[in-house]
Amino acid sequence: MALTILLIVFNPGAFSWIIDSFKPIIYALIIAYLLDSVVEFFMKKLKVRRAQGIFLACIILIGLISTLVYKVVPQIVENINNIVNFIMDGNVDVVQIVTDLKDRINHPYVVYVTDYILEASESVKELMNDLLLRVSNMLMRLVTNIGSSAFTVVTSFIINIYMLSEKEDILARGRRFIYAYFNHHKARKTLEAFSRGNKIFKSFLNGKLLDSAIVGVICVVMFYIFKVPYAPLMGTIIGVFNIIPYFGPIIGSVPVVIVSFFVDPPKAVYALIIIIVIQQLDANILDPKIVGNNVGVSPFWIITSVTLGGNLFGIPGMILGVPVVVLIKTIIEEAVDMRLIEKGICDIEKEKMINNKK
Tens place of pLDDT for every residue, the chain, 358 residues? Answer: 444 554 555 555 555 666 677 878 888 888 899 899 899 989 998 889 999 999 999 999 888 888 877 777 677 767 766 766 665 565 555 666 666 666 666 666 666 666 666 665 556 556 666 666 676 666 666 666 655 567 778 888 899 999 999 999 999 999 999 999 999 888 998 898 888 888 888 888 888 888 899 999 999 999 999 888 888 888 888 998 898 887 888 888 888 887 787 777 778 888 999 999 998 888 888 877 777 555 556 777 778 888 888 887 777 788 888 888 888 888 888 888 888 887 777 777 666 666 554 3
pTM exceeds 0.75 for this model? no
Helix pair 150-165, 50-67: axis angle to 10 deg = 160
3-class SS of residue 291: coil
Backbone angles phi, psi at 24, to 5 degrees: -60, -40
Q: What's at 17, amino acid-wise? A: W
DSSP string, 60-82: HHHHHHHHIIIIIHHHHHHHHHH
**Element housing 145 (H / E):** helix 121-148
In the prediction, which pLDDT does 94 show? Answer: 60
In the prediction, which pLDDT does 288 show? Answer: 75
**Element housing 316 (H / E):** helix 299-343
Backbone angles phi, psi at 92, to 5 degrees: -100, 110
Condensed to tens digits (0 to 9), the pLDDT of residues 159-189 reads 999 999 999 999 999 999 999 999 988 899 8
In the prediction, which pLDDT does 114 show? Answer: 65
In the prediction, which pLDDT does 2 show? Answer: 47
Q: What is the rounded CA–CA span in Å between residue 197 and residue 166?
A: 21
In the prediction, which pLDDT does 24 show? Answer: 84
In the prediction, which pLDDT does 358 show? Answer: 39
Q: What is the rounded CA–CA span in Å between residue 265 and residue 114?
A: 12
3-class SS of residue 103: helix
